[in-house]
Amino acid sequence: MDSEATPVHAGITLLVNGTEHRLNVDTRASLLDVLREDLGLTGSKKGCDHGQCGACTILVDGRRANACLALAVAHDGAEIVTVEGLAQNGRLSPVQEAFIENDAFQCGYCTPGQLCSATGVLDEAERGWPSAVTDDLGSEPALDDDEIRERMSGNLCRCGAYVGIVAALRQASQRKEAAEA
């Protein structure tokens, strides 16, 4: 008997950065591997491959997800945004601009995951979702430094650019609030 099982493939459709992709994928393939290897979107990084570093963070149906832990077949029909899809019409997103202005990256390896996670953090706060450090669950969470650190705690930076990352999120949050006022 052959000890290697024959791979099983399945057809899926993913809407990635606004473009529909029909794919035939190995049912064991992670969403990260499909994005990087099948679609050539190499912005999301393979760091730990265990969901502990956040380098592979993307947005799936508007929510943050570790792409290394997500099976691609489980996301048939999902809308996915990777770091390549954050900029719109050649203009950087407010989060990307804030990262640049606050020097919120050094080597850049974790930056794609940090940017996707930060985008998700702003959306979560806007929706009023509390975090583990939200003091008053009945009020809208304020994105102070403690909230930002807690919400971004799943994204590690080997270089220690945390001061810039927190400042960038604070700035992007303030700009978003000012634009909505």
Q: What is the dihedral of CA 15, 19, 20, 22, to 10 degrees?
A: -100
CA distance 52 to 20: 29
Q: Which parts of the chain register pLDDT below 50?
A: none
DSSP of 96-115: HHHHHHTT--SS-SSHHHHH
pLDDT of residue 124: 95
Q: What is the pTM of this model?
A: 0.93
Q: What share of the chain is helix, strand, coil (3-state, %, to 5)?
A: 35, 15, 45
pLDDT of residue 25: 98
Segment (H or E) for 135 = none
Calculate Rg over the CA atoms of the chain. 17
Residue 54 contacts residue 113 (beta carbons within 8 Å): yes
Measured N-to-C along each axis, helices 111-126 and 94-101 cross at an angle, to the nearest 10 degrees, of 120
pLDDT of residue 121: 97
Helical H segments across the chain, by residue range:
31-33, 94-101, 111-126, 145-151, 162-180
* Token output for 89: 């019409």
Beta bridge partners of 59: 64, 81
pLDDT of residue 181: 74
pLDDT tens digits, one per residue of 55-91: 999 999 999 999 999 999 999 999 999 999 999 999 9
* Token output for 58: 């993307």
